Structure 1
Amino acid sequence: MTVRGRFLAPDGTPLSGALVFRAPATLTFPAADVILGGPVTVQLDAQGSVEVTLPATDSPDMDPSGWAYLVAEQLSGIPVGRSYNVLLPRAQPEVDLADIAPTDPSKPNYVGVPGPTGPQGVPGTPGSRIYSGTAAPVAGLGVDGDLYVRYETSTVLGVTSITVSTWQRTAGTWTQLGGDVRGSAIYVNSGSTPSTGTRAGDLLLRTDTGDLFQNNGSGWGTARGNLRGPKGDTGATGQTGATGPGGVVQSVNGKSAASVTLSAADVGALATTAAGAANGVAQLDASGKVPAAQLPASGGAVASVNGKTGAVVLVAMDVGALDQGTADARYVQPAAIPVQSVAGKTGAVTLVAGDVGAEAAGTAVLLTGTQTVAGSKTFSSVPSSSASPTTSNHLTRKSYVDGLGGGEWLPADHGLLTWAFDPALGQSTALYPGSGPIRVTAVILRTTATVTRIVWFATGYAGGLTTGSWAAIYDSAGTRVAATGDMSTATYEPAEVHTAGGATISSPLTASYSAPAGVYYVASRWQYNTTTGDGPMLLAAESGAGAPPNVFGQTPVRRFGVYTAGAAAAPATINVASMENGANRFWCALA
């Protein structure tokens, strides 16, 4: 039978994504020698429509019987899609999902196909009507139970406001329900403004004063505050301007006259008549000396020096000093000092650590005591310790780390750098990734590593990928850091798998990537012929739930996800926040 459906956004834009129809078990048709298994994934087309032909749930000669399809909606932009059960009986060969999908959360999660249309019922009592207008309702309008919505429009200072009031007719009379409804308005004016036409709660900003008023129901009242800030700091002094034209002298040393005459006193000088005169100043002769005639009458000779007169000759004792002999006897002479040199140095000796065979302070590691060693150090042999770490910043021993691992298998034990989870915990039945959507798996590197390949595990794969198949690595912010080439080409296509139990497959990166420690998202897109089942069946975690648990603990990291709208090549960035949860959780690793 044929199932159709169309999915649109509220604005009529077609949605994208896929619908998954899943039977509860493998279906066996003994008479036809056919076994059907696995989910059916149908992509929405450009108009948001989907159409698929499925076996009827009451098909004859089918085992098991008495079951219903589980429909899972995986729509872009809708984080959690609906899941519901539907019956598809043969009696209804064509069904539209809009007629059978549940829309009321109170309805059960099992909805069957509607039966034939019943007879038309008796016409019901006319319902209430809703009227509208700009004035209050008139008395003769409508009947009891009708509603009336009044829209009043007013404009103040260029701001148009609409007031809404609701009325109901009861016992022949229109009665207003509640009060008027209107949002507050903000008015801006350069002067005083009447409050006519405004309402309580409205705001007025005076641009001339910066004052802010709010209508209190009876007018603007007093200002609630002021938006002007304090006066700013004086700005920096500007550059000196160009020299202006010559000005006119208004005064000279405080004198203003058409012809100013200054005296020596006006400029703080002595008059020339004072040179060599009484109460004046002395002059200098041709040799630069004061003439004898202008010297004091008592003369300039020294009367005595240290009590001596005449041609005075002073000795050390006259000035309280030691003569050479006395000084030599009192102080040790250099020749009497026993030390001749220090560390081979003479003179004003200054020694450094190397002069005495020592290391300068801060350049040697102490055998005991606390010390901070800066910079990167290289040891000629591996440092060892007999003690286990006690705090998070302590170095540790290999035996200690190995002991913490216990008996768990780690990625390194299988030659891998990291993986999504221990592959032995995956479900025994692998899953097709689907042709077109982008599958995403988060992995974490604990240390810096060089990545060269992306790894998966397939229980079966016969080759046959087509153009548009790729894989890439994105950092925690969603930026692409490495990618494979086109996986439909011989260089990058994973190897075929035909062995019982499956095998590991991988695709090389176009260039190795030196990855810092952190969280990374491995995204892959597989394009193949779904009719012949050319795609790989990949190892996945348990995925019986339509929306299994995905985010754990206190961090928002989503471990698995899907973008139902694919891309022909690995995009430069992905929006991690818009990644859909998805029902399938595929295993992958880095090597």
Structure 2
Amino acid sequence: MLPEDIPTVRVTGRYLTLDGRPLAGRVVWRAPSLLTFPAADVILGGPTTVQLDATGAFSVELPATDAPDMNPTGWSYQVAEQLAGVANRPPYHVLLPAESPEVDIDDLAPTDPTTPTYVAVRGDSAYEVAVEAGFEGTVEQWLTSLVGPRGATGDTGQTGAPGLDAYEVAVADGYSGTRTQWLTSLVGPRGERGEQGEQGVAGAPGVVQSVNGISEADVVLDAADVGAVPITAPGAPGGVAQLDDGGKVRAEQLPAGSGGGAVASVNGQTGDVVLDAAAVGAATADHTHTAAQVGALAASARAAANGVASLDAAARVPISQMPTAVGRNEWTPQSLGFAAWSCDPYTVANPVPKYLKPQRLFFVGFNITEPTTVNRIVLFSRGYGGVTTNRYRGGIYRENGTKVVESAAAALTMAGQEAGSMPAMQTNHIGAVPLSIASTVLAPGRYWAAWSLVTGGTADFAFFHVQNESPIATANFWMPGTPFARAWYLEGQANAALPATVSQTAADARADHDIPIMALANV
């Protein structure tokens, strides 16, 4: 984190493919040289690399290019976009003035292919230009001065031709029906009936004036007057059907040939008909159907090869049923023969060798996302060893501190000696040094790989590392509630077996060291 008195600018951005899928890659920011901030007693330097996340987005906070008391001044950032599957455009330069503490990269990056670089420089506003030219007054006064006097009223134009009515406009747009049909089409469906209103105040009593439209002294209503069926209609020609005690139409009132009366046959059988399953095309009571017969998949297809994926308790596909985690067109541990690694050495800025301290037990964190078989612990090293009297031990621990597997004490050959290594690797002893362990299947979870030089001198063996310039290794960075130290060590470990359990919160746990680069393999 930068000192608080250095003004910074947060730059965000997001990269997608043309069809909306997130791109993978990184954005590299470079200052032209070391930046000195005397007031903060700090010197900043080196490139800043920002990896794109799973959504193709990034966010980075950088010193403003116009920070006060900074040396040198008058410089800009060089931006290099390194995106997987996208032809890299040439690096370009941008300014990040402190007056804009947050900015998106799409407001800075060049889009014209004929413009190789672009620097976002804020120009003077029109009002500022006017002030520089001698205008005196506020912004509001300057805006008012831009409004001129109202011009003379122009002549009235000629009356236009009558426009089309709505039906004619609809016909012009393709409607093919008559005007009546068009008017009918404008009526929407009847809305839902509204809630009943409150009952009004009762009126004064009076004399009946009419009943169902009949105004006579002695009103007599028949069935037609009240919209009813005459009492003589049930069972009469042209009337209505009568129902029996079971609520069914009487057989004598059914039309001829409608099936009323006795059954003549059942499924082509007459007499005392007895139907079995075969007679009605049904299966017998003891018949067992297969999944294929009912258009289903067998239960054995769940989580089986060429079957279907199962879901866990959270309705997600388990990681064990996902394809091997190999990225597309990018370097992964599997691309180089490893099963997992603590970090990609390619992303480490200027790794230099550091000697192993005898009997210091290093721990480096691994995130295992699927069942993984391993039989080697690998250290990226510059081995001055190959000394047969030296002995090394390694092991793997679970996140709860319990030991999973441990190697025997072993002498190792120098790094970089395998066939196919570059001459400089062979000469300088640079490369992967594997330490054998029993073949072990690691279930998904977080683990530590441990490594120790149990016997030997302080200048017998060196490893390449991720630099640490803080009392606590920078790898130990997590959200509250999920503590897992990815880099730490224990001093004074004996030459015998590794401890059965370890704890990152132990009183003798330390993290003020340069972090080894390690991997796991299965060969």
TM-score by structure 2 length? 0.39
**What's the TM-score, normalizing by structure 1?**
0.35
